[in-house]
Amino acid sequence: MAGSVTLQDFKEVYAQFTKKDQPDVSEGDRLDSLNLDSLAMLEIVGLLEERAGREVDEDELADLQTFADLIRVVNEAEEA
């Protein structure tokens, strides 16, 4: 059964991937506030997919603006 992810999951995955401290962001903050390139964001999404047991359609990622958008897309994705 697939699980869901939260903003805290994003923060933990970000810290794991970047080897930096967890970012101080809220769900309404813009994704581009972390200055991640598209490849880094795809890697982080992949780690979130693993946590949730879900598979995000990459087309869904194109118009994401906020952390809430990202969390919603991951949580609405089909089970892997």
Q: Does the pLDDT at position 35 exceed 80?
A: yes
Residue, of 1 and 43, whose pLDDT is higher? 43
Q: Does pTM top 0.75 for this prediction? A: yes
| 55 strand-pairing partners | 78
Do the Cβ atoms of 25 and 33 come closer than 8 Å?
A: yes
Tell me the average pLDDT across 22-43: 96
Domain segments of the chain as ranges: 7-79
Q: Does the pLDDT at position 31 exceed 80?
A: yes
Tell me the average pLDDT across 29-56: 96
The CATH fold of domain 7-79: 1.10.1200
pLDDT at 25: 97
pLDDT at 30: 97
